[in-house]
Structure formats: C-alpha cells, structure tokens
Amino acid sequence: MSALIDKFQPLTIGESTESKSARKKKAKAEAAKTNGTAVPESPAKESSEPQENGALEHSHIRELQKQIRNINKRLAGLAKTDAVVAENPGVSLDDLVSQKKINADQKAAAEKKPGLQLQLQQAEEQVKVFQEVDAGHQAQLTKQKDDMTSQHAKEMEKTKEDLQKEGVATSSSELRKKLLVFSQFLRTAAAKRNVEDNSDPAENEAFEGALLLAYGGDEKAVDTAVAIIDGTDEKVPNIEGTLLEVRCKSHFAIRLH
C-alpha cells in the first residue's frame, strides 16, 4: 500500500475546489500571519478507519473520494453555463461574454471543465486501484486468519485425542494394578489354607471371612474386593460375621507385599 501511496499522490484541483470551511480556515490563517499570530495546523490522519461493512479504508482513498466530490460539485455548478453553450452552438465563450449571456467567471469556469473532467477520471481510477489492492490485502489477511483458526482447531482436536488415549492407557494400567493386588490376595489366602500356620489365628480367620464375602457374588462382594485392593481401616469379620481386631489396610497389605 505504501508504494502505491507514493506513486499516486492526491490530485491538485485548485483553490476553487476548497470547501467553505477550508477557505475560512485559510483566511483566518492569513489574517493571523498579518497580525503576527501563528495558527497551529491540524495533523493529517494517515490511519485507516472502519467502514460500515467492517473493512478498513485507507486515508489516501478518503482523500481521493473527497476530491472526487469537490470536482463533481464544480462540474454541477457549470450546468447553467453548459445549458447556455448548448443553446448557442458554434458561438465561442468570448462571444457569449460579449453578448452578456455568460459572465467572465462563468467563462473561466467553463474553460477549466476539460481539466476537471480529466482530474475526475484520474481520481476515480486511483480509487479503483487502491480499492482493488486493499481488497486483495484484506482477502489475504482473512485467509491467514482462517488458516490459523483451522490449524488451531486441528491442534486442539489432536491434543484432545492424545489426552483421551493417554487417559484410556492410564485407566487400563491402573485397572491391571488393582487386579494384580486382588490376585495376590487370592494367592495368599490359598497359600494360608494349604500351609498349617496358626501363628496368627485372627489373621487366618480374617482371610477366610474376606474370602467368603468376596465370593458372595453381590454388591457386598464388590465392596469387599475394592476394600482389599484399595485398603481400608475397617475391621475384617470372620466367616460368622464377628468383627476381628484385624484391619484390611494394616494386615492384608503387609501380607500381599
């Protein structure tokens, strides 16, 4: 955009294209100079401003559009003179002045019409070029944004899938560890049955009571298996349901490990 701005400088239309406010400011500045007082000039804005459709419009385009409006106003002001010229084909502007059909100012304005039309054409072409370049630039930015959004979405989806896979793998690993603990309990209980060891009768009764509950095939059996695997501080009952001074966590865990 900056290269095009350097190439296409705003057209100089002339003093008569200035708005009333601009002429007033100019007169005020000249008066201030005469009185020795400096009037600060407002800095020109080079930033882009949002349009109604949300796109950005460069300041150079706005300046060209302003010039186009001013030129069109001047051309519209020549309508009366154009009508007189059309009503008098073949009559020169000087003769129309002599005939008092137009005045000197109207003649001067009519003589500038070809130049104004050329300036209008040039300004409109520059606006078209800038708008095409800006549209291409905006399209490129939009594509880059869409690509980044799409890439981010893909990365998020991949991360989600990886976490899910990791979670499944972790859950599977934890399940195997728990099943291993329960299997070790069953092995230890079977070993205690095969070997006559009465060094700790309460512990032997606890293993038998836990086995009886674990083989129950009901919700209590599931609770018992979970208690054996995770370890609890609850007392373990014997096969008759009497609570022993044996705790699952402190006794079974030691025997299993």
The answer to whether residue 110 scores a pLDDT higher than 60 is yes
H-helix or E-strand spanning residue 110: helix 104-111
Q: Report pLDDT for 194.
A: 76
Q: Report pLDDT for 174.
A: 86
Q: Which residues, 6+ apart, have CB-to-CB distance to 214 below 8 Å? A: 221, 224, 225, 228
Q: Per-residue pLDDT tens for 89-101?
A: 988 888 888 888 8
Taking every pair of Cα atoms in the chain, the longest distance, rounded to a whole number of angstroms, is 144
Q: Per-residue pLDDT tens for 35-55?
A: 444 444 444 444 445 554 444
Rounded to whole angstroms, the Cα distance separating 59 from 50 reads 11
Say which residue the tokens 């869409």 belong to: 146
Say which amino acid occupies 70.
N
The answer to whether residue 155 scores a pLDDT higher than 50 is yes
Specify whether the CB–CB gap between 20 and 28 falls below 8 A.
no
Give the residue-averaged pLDDT of 129-144.
88
Q: Which residues, 6+ apart, have CB-to-CB distance to 159 below 8 Å? A: none
Instruction: Give the model's confidence band at 171: pLDDT under 50 very low, under 70 low, under 90 confident, else very high.
Output: confident
The answer to whether residue 169 scores a pLDDT higher than 90 is no
Rounded to whole angstroms, the Cα distance separating 204 from 190 reads 11
The answer to whether residue 78 scores a pLDDT higher than 70 is yes
Higher pLDDT, 65 or 21: 65
Higher pLDDT, 128 or 168: 128
Tell me which residue of 110, 103, 100 sits closest to 74, measured CA to CA.
110
Number of helices (H), then strands (E), belonging to the chain: the values are 10, 4
The answer to whether residue 17 scores a pLDDT higher than 50 is no
